[in-house]
Amino acid sequence: MENTKLTNKERLAIPPQKMPEQEPSERIHNVNEVPLGFTEEMAVAEAERCLQCKNAPCVKGCPVEVNIPVFIQFIAERKFREAVDAIKVTNVLPAVCGRVCPQEEQCQKPCTVGKSLKSVDRAVQIGKLERFVADWEMAQNTAVTPEIKTETGKKIAIIGCGPAGITVAADCRREGHTVTIFEALHKPGGVLAYGIPEFRLPKKIVGREVDNLVRMGVELRANMVIGKIYTIDELMENGYDAVFVGTGAGLPVFLNIPGENLNGVYSANEYLTRANLMQAYSFPNTATPIARSKNVAVFGGGNVAMDAARTALRLGAKNVYLVYRRSRDEMPARKEEIHHAEEEGVQMNYLQNPVRFIGDDKGWVSGVECLLMELGEPDDSGRRRPVPVKGSEFVIPVDTCIVAIGNASNPLIPHTSPDIKVTRWGNIIADEETLKTSKKGVFAGGDIVLGAATVILAMGQGRRAARAINEYLATGQW
Amino acid sequence: MNTILEKEFLSPQVFRMKVEAPEIAKKRKAGQFIILRVNESGERIPLTIADADPAAGWIELVVQAVGATTKALSEKKAGDSIIDMAGPLGRPTHIEKHGTVVMVGGGIGIAPAHPIAQAMKAAGNTVISILGGRSKELVIMEDKMRAASDEVIITTDDGSYGTKGLVTDAIQKLIDGGRKIDMVIAIGPPVMMKFVSLLTKKYNIPTQVSLNTIMIDGTGMCGGCRVTVGNESKFVCVDGPEFDGHLVNFDEMIQRLGMYRDLEKESLDHACKIGLDR
């Protein structure tokens, strides 16, 4: 094979392949995906950059421990089928993870290539390669339904069809168990459906992954709000042997400043749900409205804030200000997302903090008063604490505001199952390795346990929970 | 998918629908609601459950066709289906023996008031129901309310039926007549609930109102339904839909209900052009 002839020096000399993207001026007028994907040639060239390190530091950086060197080697050999199968051993959602994982913080961070070239930005682009083979598989239309073991007759209820629930469903179904997913909304996917925008994660990808589950024999029940239609105890009385709670961090945190209930002030959850799940970008061809904004302020510095800001641009806003109380270096959003937002014209208002919303005579928000901040001593998180500058008040004229400062845990399940212990923030307490809760037969994972985290961490917990559920159902030992 | 079993117009704009929903019918309690979507491109709207039969497996909805979605729903016939329905949502009404309970139902608010009146009566309360509407045809379910109440008072804005006047006039009359009222439960247009609450506050009569705000998920996830109650922001979907009427900021709530007024009109115009079942 040609690539085995390359020396490490030659590999390091191959430039990182640049994935083509929609031009910023064009993409702000549509909701289509921004990065367009590698060609086969680009993917093979990128794969040839991998040094095939024996100790594989990248694998240790991956929450679901994808066998990265192996799948990359297959790409280098143009064995794309084998590559995608190698990923799917541990990751049921490669097309999703290839797009939304923070690889620069995970697999790509310890990459030897990046370290040798002295920049994580020059590491092997593992995520983009993962996306390439997942998309390749979709294009071939050859997705293989994994083998299902002999039916065990044991029943598992999964609450929430987000990344954690989908992972548990796949891993438990493969073991031969009967699996039902209960989803509160009308569409499956959880945050992949309602939260992450089309331009970052096309919904047909989520749909296809869920279709795969259904093909495996997983039953999906939409419109089922567990805690209301059935409590967990009732599910168990109805014959479910184990329950996995993956209900996510669905309770928006607001700023708690005056004027927050004025018209035009949204939680990021509401804004994104209207735009994505309800497809308000097609209004009035779809029935759900969303504000027609000119000047928008988004509060927060995470990926959700970036998603909201970029969505507002696509919905036609002239000015979108991202108001963040610290500086660019402290922003929790992925660099790539910040970069995309900047390219598209989101105006970054660093070191500013809102203190009150101002309304017009019709009850609509017309401005937001902010204070300038400066960075003081580091706080518990290790980031420098923002301190208000006295007398620095100023007003940003806006007609829409989006609060994207995080999510607390949704109380529906804990309220109706008081025997499941929660932290004082309402997150379900689950064993780190087995994801067992304080209630026998009940496991929990994803954001309801982690607080607002990432898709891949939720999937990592889902994997471990599935392993523990399969063991529990095999042995009966709690 | 939920099949519509029966449908009947109670007035030119108001209709009731029995919808097959066996699991919801078993579980729902008075005061709870569902969220539905009429079709694939439809929005999610909350509707209070008016009645249910757990044995037969249906729930009943009473709806006024005012916006694009309720108009599209009004065009559905028995045998058609509703694409999505989730529930029962919200907290049920707290039922206990208070003594004398006045149930105030305005317009289609009479429908959700009915199961509460039944439950309050079953709990040993004396139930006086005040049914209000702009005109006679908007006073619905009179017979059912009579069966669930000890006394029924009817008011219409135009005097076409019952006493000419507002429901608040009828409450005032009860108070002036020396009737001891232990609890008022008001369900209807926000303006009606606001003025009922203002009146009962003067006399210190505990008052519950049932709010119907704009919602999407109905599980606490979006916060679009938030209202100020006391000094706190509450979510109607999970903290409500019933709140202490004396603490609700109705002006803010009414303002938030009007958030999409222009767009709703556009949506309706558009739907009329291309067919309501877009």
Give the best residue of A185, A277, A365, A416 to mutate against chain B (max B CB count within 10 A). Answer: A185
Chain A contacts of B256, Cβ < 8 Å?
Answer: 261, 263, 363
Decide: helix, strand or coil at residue B111: helix
Q: What is the pLDDT of residues A229-280, one digit of tens each?
A: 999 999 999 999 999 999 998 899 999 999 999 999 999 999 999 999 999 9
Q: Do B271 and A284 touch (CB under 8 A)?
A: yes
Provide the residue count of chain A.
478
How confident is the model at residue A146, as a pLDDT?
A: 83
Q: What is the pLDDT of residues B53-63, one digit of tens each?
A: 999 999 999 99
Neighbours of B195 (CB within 10 A): 17
Residues 139-198 (B) with a CB less than 8 A from some CB of A: none
Q: Compute the average pLDDT of residues B110-128.
A: 95
Q: Do A287 and B216 touch (CB under 8 A)?
A: no
Q: Do A229 and B44 touch (CB under 8 A)?
A: no
Chain A contacts of B41, Cβ < 8 Å?
Answer: 279, 282, 285-287
Question: What tokens were used for A157?
Answer: 């209820």
Decide: helix, strand or coil at residue A137: helix
How confident is the model at residue A3, as a pLDDT?
A: 47
Q: Do B86 and A292 touch (CB under 8 A)?
A: no
Q: What is the pLDDT of residues B171-228, one digit of tens each?
A: 999 999 999 999 999 999 999 999 999 999 999 999 999 999 999 999 999 999 999 9
Question: What tokens were used for B171?
Answer: 């409450």
Comparing C-alpha atoms, which of A126, A70, A117 is closest to residue A97?
A: A126
Looking at this protein, which amino acid is placed at residue A137? E
How confident is the model at residue A50, as a pLDDT?
A: 97
How confident is the model at residue A1, as a pLDDT?
A: 47
Q: Which residue of B has its CA nearest to A223?
A: B86
Q: What is the pLDDT of residues B149-176, one digit of tens each?
A: 999 999 999 999 999 999 999 999 999 9
Q: Do B219 and A292 touch (CB under 8 A)?
A: no
Neighbours of A462 (CB within 10 A): 31
| Alpha carbon distance A237, A232 (integer Å) | 9
How confident is the model at residue A452, as a pLDDT?
A: 79
Q: Do A286 and B224 touch (CB under 8 A)?
A: no
Q: What is the pLDDT of residues A191-238, one digit of tens each?
A: 999 999 999 999 999 998 899 899 999 999 999 999 999 999 999 999
The predicted complex's ipTM stands at: 0.94
Comparing C-alpha atoms, which of B13, B19, B124 is closest to residue B71?
A: B13
Decide: helix, strand or coil at residue A8: helix
| Alpha carbon distance B79, A220 (integer Å) | 25
Q: CA separation (Å) from A381 to A323, A385, A388, A391? A: 20, 9, 18, 27
Q: Which residue of B has its CA nearest to A407?
A: B221
What's the gap in Å between the CA of B170 and the closest CA on chain A?
32
Looking at this protein, which amino acid is placed at residue A191? V
How confident is the model at residue A4, as a pLDDT?
A: 58
Chain A contacts of B34, Cβ < 8 Å?
Answer: none
Q: Compute the average pLDDT of residues A382-404.
A: 94
Give the best residue of B73, B82, B221 to mutate against chain A (max A CB count within 10 A). Answer: B221
Q: What is the pLDDT of residues A443-476, one digit of tens each?
A: 999 999 998 788 999 999 999 999 999 999 999 9
Q: What is the pLDDT of residues A307-354, one digit of tens each?
A: 999 999 999 999 999 999 999 999 999 999 999 999 999 999 999 999
| Alpha carbon distance A378, A375 (integer Å) | 8
> Please, which pLDDT band fits residue A381 given cuts at 50, 70 and 90?
confident
How confident is the model at residue B278, as a pLDDT?
A: 59
Q: Do B41 and A279 touch (CB under 8 A)?
A: yes
Q: Between the CA atoms of A50, A55, A58 and A60, what dihedral angle is there, to the nearest 10 degrees?
A: 170
What is chain A's Cα-based Rg? 23
Helices and strands, counts by H and E, chain B = 9, 16
C-beta separation of A344 from A296 below 8 A? no
Chain B CB within 8 Å of residue A289 CB? yes
> Please, which pLDDT band fits residue B277 given cuts at 50, 70 and 90?
low
Comparing C-alpha atoms, which of B236, B229, B129, B146 is closest to residue B186?
A: B129
Comparing C-alpha atoms, which of A180, A159, A169, A155 is closest to residue A226?
A: A159
Decide: helix, strand or coil at residue B71: helix
> Please, which pLDDT band fits residue A141 given cuts at 50, 70 and 90?
confident
Peptide bond preceding A284 in cis form (omega within 30 of 0): yes
Q: What is the pLDDT of residues A406-437, one digit of tens each?
A: 998 888 898 889 999 999 888 999 999 999 99
DSSP strands (E only) in A64-212 = 155-159, 178-182
Q: Do A279 and B227 touch (CB under 8 A)?
A: no
Q: CA separation (Å) from B273 to A175, A284, B64, B267? A: 52, 11, 21, 10
C-beta separation of B241 from B44 below 8 A? no
Looking at this protein, which amino acid is placed at residue A156? I
Give the best residue of B219, B252, B264, B277 to mutate against chain A (max A CB count within 10 A). Answer: B219
What long-range pairs does B19-23 form, CB within 8 A, spacing at least 24? Answer: B19/B58, B19/B59, B19/B60, B19/B61, B19/B82, B19/B85, B20/B57, B20/B58, B21/B57, B21/B58, B21/B59, B21/B85, B21/B87, B22/B54, B22/B57, B22/B58, B23/A229, B23/A230
Q: Do B84 and A284 touch (CB under 8 A)?
A: no
Q: Do B24 and A229 touch (CB under 8 A)?
A: yes
Looking at this protein, which amino acid is placed at residue A434? T
Q: What is the pLDDT of residues B72-114, one digit of tens each?
A: 999 999 999 999 999 999 999 999 999 999 999 999 999 999 9
How confident is the model at residue B276, as a pLDDT?
A: 61
Q: Which residue of A has its CA nearest to B217?
A: A185
Residues 64-83 (B) with a CB less than 8 A from some CB of A: 68-69, 83
| pTM assigned to the model | 0.94
DSSP strands (E only) in A196-286 = 219-221, 242-245, 251-252, 265-267
Q: Is the pLDDT of residue B140 over 60?
A: yes
From the list A279, A283, A410, the residue facing B219 with the nearest CB is A410
From the list B69, B252, B260, the residue facing A261 with the nearest CB is B252
Q: Is the pLDDT of residue A51 over 70?
A: yes
| Alpha carbon distance A444, A202 (integer Å) | 27
From the list B86, B258, B267, the residue facing A223 with the nearest CB is B86
Q: Compute the average pLDDT of residues A158-172.
A: 96
How confident is the model at residue A80, as a pLDDT?
A: 96
